[in-house]
Amino acid sequence: MRKFLFRRAAVYWNWPWNLFAAITFILIFPIHAQVQEAAQKSSDLAPLPLVLPPPTLKGTPQNLPTNTSAPPFTDKSPAPFYAPKGVKNVALGKPVTGSNPTPIDGELQQITDGKKQAFNENVVTLRRGLQWVQIDLQGEYNLYAIVVWHDFTTAVVYRDVIVQVSDDPEFETGVHTLFNNDQSNRSGLGAGTDREYFENPLTGEGKLVDAKGIKARYLRCYSHGNTDNALNAYIEIEAYGLPAS
């Protein structure tokens, strides 16, 4: 009888620990698998091979625009953006068309010529109102980051910046909007939820848009003037991707 009681006591005292061990086993192994999967994914990523142009100013600019939804101006360098290893700027040297085929200054093809310094000769100035430029990547790519440099000589804010991709050169079907800060739908392309942003002469970082691996051939960027004037200007647009399988 005493032996029986002892065994019951042993079971009574050991079952919580057995239960704890079982739960721990169930929880730890899936977590371990998730950690391994995350590690595998991270091993396939690398910082975007983005080379920023040199700054054009030193010290915080004076009289920054205040009628904007842009986050506060900063001189901090951007954090690295991670994308699959092997991505490259697939927009480099690709054909550019636009709503204003004869710009006021410069030529549309300069927008993909790789020259990102904020020199007057690198600035392509389009007319007033809503204007767009379009890049034919000449093939389908999985795109991970789009980087847009308007004229960043001064800390201005460009209005109604919209970035879209499509497989249709007319952008009538299969259009995907990656970025849209036209919150009032002034441009008639749908109200956006993104915030405006400063062109940054202290860091030269441009606007990086996460494309999340979307597959497309054509890239189109809109703008509708800026806080200094009604004109639209670009220095460079880059699109980082890999050939679509």
CATH code for the domain in which residue 191 is found: 2.60.120.260
Judge contact between 151 and 228, C-beta under 8 A: no
| 9 and 122 both lie in a single domain | no
Q: Is the pLDDT of residue 34 over 80?
A: no
pTM over 0.95? The answer is: no
pLDDT for 102-151, tens place per residue?
A: 999 999 999 999 999 999 999 999 999 999 999 999 999 999 999 999 99
Q: Is the pLDDT of residue 4 over 90?
A: no
| 56 and 38 both lie in a single domain | no
Q: What is the DSSP letter of 182?
A: -
| 170 and 75 both lie in a single domain | yes
Section 68-76 average pLDDT? 92
pLDDT for 183-203, tens place per residue?
A: 999 999 999 999 999 999 999
| 61 and 29 both lie in a single domain | no
- The rounded distance, in Å, linking the Cα atoms of 220 and 108 is 13
Give residue 61's pLDDT band: very low, low, confident or very high (50, 70, 90). confident
| 36 and 105 both lie in a single domain | no
- The rounded distance, in Å, linking the Cα atoms of 161 and 226 is 10
Section 37-55 average pLDDT? 79
pLDDT for 190-237, tens place per residue?
A: 999 999 999 999 999 999 999 999 999 999 999 999 999 999 999 999
Percent of the chain with pLDDT over 90: 76
Judge contact between 217 and 139, C-beta under 8 A: yes
Residue 78 CB contacts under 8 Å (≥ 6 apart), including other chains: 203, 205, 208
| 13 and 31 both lie in a single domain | yes
- The rounded distance, in Å, linking the Cα atoms of 40 and 173 is 36
Q: Residue 135 pairs with which residues in a beta bridge?
A: 96, 219
| 174 and 216 both lie in a single domain | yes
| 176 and 140 both lie in a single domain | yes
| 34 and 81 both lie in a single domain | no
- Where in the sequence is the domain holding 191, given as residue range(s)? 52-243
| 209 and 169 both lie in a single domain | yes
Q: Which two tokens stand for residue 132?
A: 């767009």
The number of domains in the chain is 2
Give residue 57's pLDDT band: very low, low, confident or very high (50, 70, 90). confident
- Distance, C-alpha 49 to centroid of its chain: 14
Pick the more confident residue, 128 or 24.
Answer: 128
| 21 and 109 both lie in a single domain | no
| 122 and 195 both lie in a single domain | yes
Q: Is the pLDDT of residue 239 over 60?
A: yes
Distance linking the first and last C-alpha atoms of the chain: 74
